[in-house]
Structure 1
Amino acid sequence: MSYIETPPNHRFPWYVRLFLANQRRRYGRELEPARLWARSPIVFAALSLLYGALDRKSSPIEPALRTLVTVRVSQINWCAFCVDINSATALKRGLTEVHLESLHCFEESPLFDDRVKAALAYAGAVTYSDRQVDAALMARLKSHFDDEAVIELTALIAFQNLSSKFNSALDVSAQGFCKLPPRFDAW
C-alpha cells in the first residue's frame, strides 16, 4: 500500500482510461504507479510518450541491456515495484534469474561482457548521488557505444531514476510480477 492512494472511483480523462484498460489486458490489473501518475494527466501523457520512445524496437540499446539497466537503477533507488516489474520483463527478454541475482556484483560476474559492464557502471555513476561520470568512465562507455547510443542510454537511466524515485518516495509496493525477491543495494 503506497502513501497516496487513488480512490477506486477516481475519474480519469478518456486517454488515461484507454491506457489503464490496456494495462488490465496486458497485466491483468492496473499498475499502481500509472494510477498515481495519472492523477496529473498531462504529466502522465508526457511520461508515457517518453517511455514509449525509450523502449522502442529501433533503439540503439538492445532490449535485454535496457532491462538490466532499469533493474539496476531500481535496485539502487530501493524501488520494489520497479525491481519487480523490470525483473519480470528481463526474464521475458531472455535474461535469467542468475543475471538478475548477479547485478549487484556485475563487475566481477562472468555473465556480463565488457559492453554490459560499461553500461551498468555508467548507470551507477549517474544514479548514485555521491558519484560522477568522469573521463575514464566516459571513454570506457564510448569504446562500446556511439554518441547516439550514449545519449539514449543516458535518457533511459534518467527516466528510470525519475520513475523509481517517484515510486520509492510514495512507497509503491511490488505487484507480484516476478517471483524473485527484490534485491536492494545501498553501496
Structure 2
Amino acid sequence: MKETTAWVSPINNIPASLKPIAAVQKKHFGAVLNPTRWWGRMPRLFWLVALFVGFLERRSARLSPVLRSLLMTRVSQLCHCAFCIDANSLRLAERAGARDKVQAVSDWHASALFSEEERAALAYADAVTATPPRVDEATKADLKRHFTDEAITEMTALIAFQNLSARFNAALEIPAQGLCDSAKGKPHA
C-alpha cells in the first residue's frame, strides 16, 4: 500500500469478513484496493455496496459493459475521485479494447468517438451528477430515443452508485492505485 496523508487513516488489518474480497483483489490487481482499507471499517456496509455494484455489473444488465464503464469513468471525473478515475479508466480500456475512449471521455462533447446513444447517456450522467441534478427536457427526450424506461432506471442507479462511491473516496482523499495510466488509458505493467 502506498503511503498516504489522508485525514482519515486507512485500516491496516482487513476484517475477517472482507478477507475473501481482499484475496481476489490481490490476485487480480497485485494488492488490496485502496477503498477497501477505508470501507473496511464498516464490513456490512462494504458488502451491501459490493452487492449493489455487483447487481449493476451482472451479465444480464440492460446496459452494455462498455457503456457502464464509460458512465462510471465520466462520473468519477466529475467527482474528482482519483481512485475511481484510475480504476474505471482501466475497466473502460479493457472493455472497449482500445484507449481512445478513455482519452476522450473528459471532453466527450467535442469527440466524434462516441455514438449518439453514448452521447445521450453521457449527457444524462453529467446532468444527474450535477448538484443539484439538472436533467432538462432535451436530455430526457434524447435518452428516451435510445433507451427503454427499464434501461434508464438501471442507468440512473449506476450513475447514483458511482456518485456515492466517488464522493466517498474523494471526500476521504483515497488515492489512486496506479492501475491505469489515465493520460494514456492503458494498464500499468
Q: TM-score surpassing 0.5? A: yes
Match of 2:7 among 3, 23, 30: 3
Taking a change above 3 Å as real, the CA distance of residues 145 and 11 of structure 1, as seen in their structure-2 partners, is closer
CA distance in 2, matches of 1:65, 1:83: 15
Asked whether 1:124 is paired with 2:132, we answer no
Unaligned 5+ segments in structure 1 are 183-187
Aligned partners of 2:117 and 2:66: how far apart in 1?
12
Give 1:14-163 correspondences, 5 Å limit. 14-129=16-131, 131-163=133-165
Q: 1:168 to 1:11 in 2, by over 3 A?
A: closer
How far off its partner does 1:136 sit?
1.9
Structure 1 residue 7 displacement after superposition: 3.6
Q: Quote the Cα distance in structure 1 between the aligned partners of 2:31 and 2:69.
A: 22
Contact 1:126 1:157 (C-alpha < 8 Å) held by counterparts:
yes
Code of the aligned partner of 2:127: A
> Residue 187 of structure 2 corresponds to which residue in structure 1?
none
Q: Hey, what's the Cα distance between the residues in 2 that align with 1:3 and 1:11?
A: 19
Deviation at 1:135, TM superposition (A): 2.1
- Structure 2 residue 169 is matched with structure 1 residue 167: yes
User: Conserved in 1, the CA contact under 8 Å of 2:14 and 2:37?
Assistant: no
CA distance in 2, matches of 1:54, 1:17: 23
Gaps of 5+ in 2: 185-189
RMSD: 1.7
Amino acid at match of 1:23: Q
Structure 2: distance between partners of 1:137 and 1:151:
15
For the Cα contact (< 8 Å) 2:14–2:40, is it kept in 1? no
Identity percentage of aligned residues: 41
Residue-by-residue CA offset, 1:64-92 (whole Å, 9 max, x unaligned): 01001001000011001000011111111
- 1:128 and 1:11 map into 2 onto residues whose CA distance is 34
Q: 1:71 to 1:65 in 2, by over 3 A?
A: same
